[in-house]
């Protein structure tokens, strides 16, 4: 089956007239044999995301006692108006693809399967209650991570805006994205509210087991990303430093090209380490041998520009150089500690889920709505990081809602397929 259509239905077709070992009908001399690779043809059909089945049940009534007899609904339907697949597809469309409830409502109405926005919310809100033990277990696993990425983006929660306290200096509303690398797993978490990324990191690390060494933290250079309550090995994002020069390259082409070229060499060495599948310790040694001289030369150049007053400190180039120099130790942490990544791109990619939601749905109405969004975004993106189909995974969870309440840790995305029931 074509690897790009792992979720498709596989239909194996035998030749209607021939089988291996039969005489060839063409030359009539040889015998046909089966080739190792079949001929693959992909046929795609379209359906409404939510499809309704209307059961018209014939009713019979006794003309004497008046008793009415109605056939039972199929066992797989029971008394449920919406099954697990309905909740799963609405969640994936809304929180994985950014499709607002009202847009899906219009689509469904146009396709003759109306599902109001209010009904969609009821479906995902109810499903979120069932899935909350798994989300809680996911947070506990993430807290034990050896490396934690974090960053945040602005978000709107209407109830927060309406209840704004004039005396409160904290006006902003944010969605924090955290991606934790625990053992060989990657776990994505989203948290929406008044807290900054560093404060949400503190909330996460409160669940970290005592005795574990401080995690490596990867973030940009903003002070609000650091936790004030827990120790972490701070490292800063090289992409953010590089971006300072990319944005002014037209004004300072030669100087920016020099910096970008040096950083490109470091990324090349990192790509080679990944290609060779080096261990964190081997990767550290490789960077110390190959990237340290490059970064030392770049640091000398940056300091010379500022110390010799070659560059105006308040110019775009001066600010970009100062940004790097102020964070030099954290930017070069990958030369000191095994396992430190070069940048925070993993977390920035995760935050695109929240940004996509903000651009399409514009806001959450309440904190409850934000919590539901955070739960589904966390599960959906963790699935994608694990290479798991989020639609099938959510269906699996909801079908096993009673069991996951007892042992949610066994229903993590990376367990899907191993313990399917």
The DSSP code sequence of 279-299 is -HHHHHHHHHHHTHHHHHHHH
Orientation angle between helical segments 238-246 and 253-275, nearest 10 degrees: 150
Residue pair 342/267 in contact (Cβ under 8 Å)? The answer is yes
% of the chain at pLDDT higher than 90: 76
Question: Hey, what long-range contacts does 42-51 have (CB within 8 A, 24 or more apart)?
Answer: 42/2, 42/5, 42/8, 48/107, 48/108, 48/111, 48/112, 48/113, 49/89, 49/90, 49/93, 49/104, 49/107, 49/108, 50/86, 50/89, 50/90, 50/104, 50/108, 50/113, 50/115, 51/113
Rounded Cα distance, 52 and 217, in Å: 47
CA 413 centroid distance within chain:
12
Rounded Cα distance, 385 and 392, in Å: 15
- pLDDT grade, residue 170 (50/70/90)? confident
Task: Tell me the average pLDDT across 34-53.
Answer: 85
- pLDDT grade, residue 55 (50/70/90)? confident
- Residue 61 predicted with pLDDT over 60: yes
Show the tokens assigned to 179.
């991606």
Rounded Cα distance, 171 and 152, in Å: 15
- Please report the DSSP string for 34-94 in residue order: --SS-----------SS---------EE-TTT--EE-PPPPTTTTT-SS-HHHHHHHHIII
Rounded Cα distance, 376 and 361, in Å: 15
Radius of gyration (Cα) for the chain, nearest Å?
A: 28
- Output DSSP code: residue 155: -
Question: How would you classify residue 277: left for phi > 0, otherwise alpha for psi between -120 and 50, otherwise beta?
Answer: left
Model pLDDT, residue 1: 43
Q: Identify the weakest region by mean pLDDT among 120-124, 167-171, 251-255, 257-261.
A: 167-171
How many alpha carbons lie under 13 Å from residue 100 in its C-beta half-sphere?
11
Rounded Cα distance, 147 and 339, in Å: 8
Which residue would you say has higher pLDDT here, 14 or 420?
14
- Residue 376 predicted with pLDDT over 90: yes
Task: Tell me the average pLDDT across 276-294.
Answer: 96
Residue pair 331/241 in contact (Cβ under 8 Å)? The answer is yes
- Output DSSP code: residue 410: G
Residue pair 145/109 in contact (Cβ under 8 Å)? The answer is no
Task: Tell me the average pLDDT across 373-398.
Answer: 96
- Residue 135 predicted with pLDDT over 50: yes
Domain map (residue ranges) of the chain: 140-347
Q: Which of 196, 153, 200, 210 is nearest to 180 (CA)?
A: 200
- Residue 421 predicted with pLDDT over 70: no
Orientation angle between helical segments 367-386 and 117-143, nearest 10 degrees: 60
- Residue 349 predicted with pLDDT over 50: yes
Show the tokens assigned to 272.
């080679």
- Output DSSP code: residue 32: -
Question: How would you classify residue 325: left for phi > 0, otherwise alpha for psi between -120 and 50, otherwise beta?
Answer: alpha
Rounded Cα distance, 19 and 37, in Å: 15
Q: What angle do CA 79, 81, 87 make, to 5 degrees?
A: 125
DSSP H helices, 207-342, are 238-246, 253-275, 280-290, 292-307, 316-326, 328-331
Residue pair 238/245 in contact (Cβ under 8 Å)? The answer is no
Rounded Cα distance, 411 and 157, in Å: 31
- Residue 10 predicted with pLDDT over 90: no
Model pLDDT, residue 163: 78
Q: Identify the weakest region by mean pLDDT among 1-10, 45-54, 358-367.
A: 1-10
Task: Tell me the average pLDDT across 22-44.
Answer: 87
C-alpha distances (whole Å) from 408 to each of 131, 239, 373, 386 are 9, 37, 19, 17
Model pLDDT, residue 419: 56
- Residue 65 predicted with pLDDT over 80: yes
Altogether, the residues listed in the chain come to a count of: 421
Rounded Cα distance, 108 and 52, in Å: 10
pTM to 2 decimals?
A: 0.89
Task: Tell me the average pLDDT across 325-340.
Answer: 96
Kindly report, residue by residue over 176-229, the tens digit of the pLDDT: 999 999 999 999 999 999 999 999 999 999 999 999 999 999 999 888 999 999
CA 121 centroid distance within chain:
21
- pLDDT grade, residue 420 (50/70/90)? low
Q: What angle do CA 147, 153, 158 make, to 5 degrees?
A: 130
Model pLDDT, residue 2: 46
Kindly report, residue by residue over 73-107, the tens digit of the pLDDT: 888 887 788 889 999 999 999 999 999 999 999 99
Model pLDDT, residue 350: 95
Other CB atoms within 10 Å distance of the CB of residue 169? 5
Other CB atoms within 10 Å distance of the CB of residue 105? 17
């Amino acid at each position: 089956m074509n690897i790009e259509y792992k979720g498709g239905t596989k239909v194996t077709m035998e030749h209607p007239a021939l089988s291996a070992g039969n005489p060839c009908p063409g030359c009539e001399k040889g015998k046909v044999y089966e080739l190792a690779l079949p001929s693959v043809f992909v046929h795609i059909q379209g359906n409404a995301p939510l499809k309704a089945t209307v059961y018209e049940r014939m009713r019979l009534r006794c003309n004497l006692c008046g008793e009415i007899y109605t056939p039972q609904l199929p066992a797989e339907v029971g008394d449920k108006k919406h099954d697990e697949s309905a909740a799963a597809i609405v969640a994936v469309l809304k929180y994985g693809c950014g499709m607002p409830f009202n847009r899906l409502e219009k689509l469904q109405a146009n396709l003759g399967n109306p599902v109001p926005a209010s009904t969609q919310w009821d479906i995902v809100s109810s499903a979120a209650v069932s899935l909350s033990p798994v989300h809680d277990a996911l947070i506990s696993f993430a807290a034990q991570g050896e490396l934690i990425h974090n960053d945040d983006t602005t978000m709107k929660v209407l109830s927060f805006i309406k209840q704004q306290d004039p005396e409160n200096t904290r006006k902003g509303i944010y969605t924090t994205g955290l991606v934790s690398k625990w053992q060989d797993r990657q776990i994505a978490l989203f948290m929406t509210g008044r807290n900054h990324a560093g404060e949400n990191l503190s909330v996460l690390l409160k669940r970290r087991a005592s005795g574990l060494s401080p995690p490596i933290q990867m973030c940009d250079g903003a002070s609000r990303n650091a936790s004030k309550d827990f120790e972490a090995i701070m490292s800063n994002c090289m992409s953010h430093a590089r971006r300072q020069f990319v944005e002014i390259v037209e004004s300072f082409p030669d100087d920016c090209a020099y910096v970008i070229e040096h950083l490109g060499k470091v990324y090349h060495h990192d790509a080679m380490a990944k290609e060779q599948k080096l261990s964190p310790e081997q990767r550290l040694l490789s960077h110390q041998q190959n990237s340290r001289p490059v970064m030392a030369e770049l640091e000398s150049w940056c300091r010379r520009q500022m110390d010799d007053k070659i560059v105006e400190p308040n110019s775009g180039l001066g600010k970009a150089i100062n940004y790097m120099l102020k964070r030099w130790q954290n930017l070069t942490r990958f030369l000191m500690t095994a396992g430190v990544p070069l940048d925070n791109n993993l977390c920035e990619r995760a935050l695109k889920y929240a940004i996509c939601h903000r651009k399409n749905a514009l806001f959450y109405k309440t904190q409850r709505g934000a919590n539901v969004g955070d739960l589904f975004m966390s599960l959906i993106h963790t699935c994608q990081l694990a290479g798991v189909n989020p639609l099938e995974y959510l269906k699996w969870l909801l079908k096993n809602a009673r069991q996951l309440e007892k042992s949610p840790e066994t229903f993590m995305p990376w367990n899907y397929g191993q313990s399917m029931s």
